[in-house]
Each structure stands twice: as structure tokens, then as C-alpha cells.
Structure 1
Amino acid sequence: MKRYILLLCLCIGMFTMQAHTIDYVLEQESNSFGFYIWEGVRHIIPLGLDHILFILCIFFLSTSTKKVILQASMFTLAHTITLGLVMFDIIDPPTKWVEALIAMSIVFLAAENLFVDKVKPGRIILIFLFGLVHGMGFASALTSLNLPKVDFVKALVGFNIGVEMAQLSIILLLTIIIRLFKAHPIVYRKRVVIPMSIIIILIASYWTVERIFF
């Protein structure tokens, strides 16, 4: 079991602490639907370490597939709403504070995982609210592509599909790994949830300070 925790830590270590560093190089074919799908995937894997950690926090609290899907669905619904609102200039949140709030949401959710061992209704609401913030972060990445107005709907749909594909891939991988612990919930919490949540808190706390003060 320890080797799976080590594997997860190594995967996280492969990314630099500079999550969300997005350096898009636009090609002639950059207005294709497939391009926007790929950018959505790329924004999560490998560029979106903060979003990956958020998904891990969602997943860690319960090995129940039903509860994971419920939480992931609320997150998806929420970030889709704000992604659309920002893309169509209905809201214009300050990027600096959006990024800081994203980091804080990860700290909060990881900390909750240390003290709570069941998915409660309040957590579902919390994930929805945090999802609204993450959607603004997704929008800042999509906006950086300098899209012509005519491409907004296509870009919005394609990018969101890409984000969901990446999220589902992460959840599927985690499901396969966590099944090893399903018959041992106490061991799972002691050897996976608690140590990984502490690591995530440290990383996200660093991002919070960095994004607010630097």
C-alpha cells in the first residue's frame, strides 16, 4: 500500500510549484473544436496542479463511487456556470484574487478531510461554491487565447469538454488505486487520506501566500 502513496507523491512532485503557468502557442489551426478540447485537457493535465489537488481532496473523503460522482458533478456544474459568465463578459473577477481563492479552497477542503470522515450535505454546497471560483480560473486560461467573438461558444464548449475529460481520467485512475483500500477504510484513512491531505495543505498554503503577496 505504501508504494501507491509513494507513486502518488512522485506524480505530484513531477510538477513544479508554479501551478497554472499557461504558455499557449497559437497555431493556424487554433480555431478548431479539437484545439479547444485539447486546451481544456492541457489546462488540467499537466498545467493545472491546483485543480488536480482539488479533485484529490474531493476523492479522498470517500471511496464510494456514487459520492465521488455527486461531488464531481456539483463541481462541474459550478465551474461551467462561471466559465460561461466570464467568457461572455457578464462578470469580470480580478485574476489575482481568483487564483488566491482557488488555493484557499484547496487548503480548506484538505483540512476538512483531516477532521471529517463522511460526505455531508454541507460539503456538497461547499464544493459547488468552490467550483464557481475554479470556473473563473478556467475562464482566465481560455480568455488568454485572445479568441475572436465568433469562436466563444465553440471555445467554451470544447474547453469544458476537455476539462471534464481530464477530470474523469484522474477520477478513473484514483478509483483503480483506491479499490485496493476499499475493504480497509481505517487503513485507507490513516495511510492515504491524512498524510496526503497534510501534503496538499502545505502546497496550497504556499500558493495562497505566493498569489496574494507576490
Structure 2
Amino acid sequence: MGKVLQSRHLSVWGRALIIIFLIAIWSGPASAHVVVKELSKMSGGEAALVYLGLGYRHILPLGFDHILFILSLFLLSPKIKPLLTQATAFTVAHSITLGLAMYGVITPPVKIVEPLIAVSILFVALENIFSPKLKASRIGVVFLFGLIHGLGFASVLSTLGLPKTSYLFSLIMFNIGVELGQLTIIVAAYFLLAKWFGKKPNYRKFVVMPLSAIIVVIAGFWTIQRIFF
């Protein structure tokens, strides 16, 4: 009975995320510069959907580095509880630095933030390879890297722009869009990987190791590229 209810619950989440994805894709202009100019013509609900969509699209399909980071977190332990704990730590952390950066409290240079984001992906993927089990220290690591990713989100949002008349509201909606994008990745990874292979004895050998190795190569390339080029 419990498994049936869990399956139904996940099915509902899957349908909900498909709806969110469609709303995000067709929720308005791809550039917030257009939004800032036309916000006065929009209702509060329309503006909310636009910034929700901008946040979502920054993750899916545009944020390949953030996608790989979330996937790396997922691979080592695809169980719901540890995954939600890591996702919560990441969300709290990047929300803090996103808010601080957008209000000008901190202004780290992009040339430092972008390589650090690549390093964060590289670190987590390597940990997946060399650590057969999830360590308690992973939460602290995820929180630290979440702070860095929040600065990356802020860099993008600063470039796009926010309307002065509804600055906080638009910032919150953008952040919610980011969270929904991340949640979509987690749910998709569950249905594509964990549901079918998560409990298999060779899950680590045939899923975690090869996928993490691919991510290591990509993140390593990004790290070198963002530091030296």
C-alpha cells in the first residue's frame, strides 16, 4: 500500500512539473530587459510568471553547469531523504548569496565565481568516485558550494535586470523558478535512473562511476577554460 501511495505521489509530482515546465517556457520574454520596460503594462500575475520563467530557464535548459551539479548530488545516494537534505542545504545557501549580491552587500567578480562553480562540480563528482557512501560532511560541502552557485545566479540576474518598482518580488519569483528547475532535474533523475537502477547491486559500477567520470571530464575542462581563457 505504501509503495502504491508513493508511486501515485511521484506521478502527481511528475505531472505538476511538466505543467511548470510548459508555463516556464511560454511565460514571457527571454530577456528581463524587455520585462523591466514593459512591467508597468503587466499585471502582478503576469510579472510573476515572467520572472518565474526566467529563473526556471536559467536551470533548464540553459544552466548546464547547475544541471551537472544537481545530478552529481543525486548520483551517490538517490534516496529521497538524503537528497532532500542536500537540496535544502543548497537552496538555503544560494538564496542567501543571491539576495546579498542583488542588494549590493557583496560583489564578487565573475572571473572568480565561474571557475569556483566548475570546481564545485568537479569536487562532488570526484567524491562520488572515491567515496562509496554518502558522508555526513557532504551537507557542509553542499552548503558551501550553494553559496558559490548563488553568486552565479546573481551574476546572471544582474545582467538581465530587475524592475525597481517590484525588486524583491521579482527576485523571489526568479529564485522560485530556479528551485523548480532544480526540482525538475531531481524528479527526472529519479524516474530515469533511481527508479529502475537505484537498488540494483551494480548501480554504483554501471551508473555512478561512469556518469561521475564523464562529469569530472566536463567540469575539469570548464575549470581550466574559466581560469585560463
With structure 1 as the length reference, what TM-score do the two structures score? 0.85
1:105-131 deviation line (CA, Å, top 9, x unaligned): 000000000011222221110000000
* 1:26 CA displacement: 3.5
> Which one-letter code corresponds to 2:90 in the other structure?
F
**Relative to 1, partners in 2 of residues 1:180 and 1:30: Cα closer, same or farther, differing over 3 Å?**
farther
* 1:132 CA displacement: 0.2
1: CA distance, partners of 2:72 / 2:216: 10
Greater CA radius of gyration, 1 or 2? 2
Which residue of the other structure, out of 129, 133, 146, is the alignment partner of 1:131? 146
Identity of aligned residues (%): 51
Deviates more, 1:149-158 or 1:190-199: 149-158
Partner of 2:15 in structure 1?
Answer: none
Superposed, 1:1-214 pairs within 5 Å as: 24=31, 26-27=33-34, 28-29=37-38, 32-177=47-192, 178-184=194-200, 186-214=201-229
* 1:55 CA displacement: 0.2
* 1:155 CA displacement: 1.9
Q: Work out whether residues 113 and 194 of structure 1, in 8 Å CA contact, stay in contact via their aligned partners in 2.
A: yes
Query: Of Structure 1 and Structure 2, which has the larger fraction of its residues in helix?
Result: 2
Number of equivalent positions = 191
Equivalent residue of 1:90, what SS? coil
Equivalent residue of 2:160, what SS? coil
Equivalent residue of 1:93, what SS? coil
With structure 2 as the length reference, what TM-score do the two structures score? 0.80
2: CA distance, partners of 1:189 / 1:131: 25
5+ long unaligned stretches in structure 1 = 1-22
* 1:192 CA displacement: 0.7
* 1:30 CA displacement: 5.4
5+ long unaligned stretches in structure 2 = 1-29, 41-46
1:70-129 deviation line (CA, Å, top 9, x unaligned): 111100010000000001100000011100000000000000000112222211100000
* RMSD of Structure 2 on Structure 1 (CA): 1.5
Q: Work out whether residues 32 and 162 of structure 2, in 8 Å CA contact, stay in contact via their aligned partners in 1.
A: no
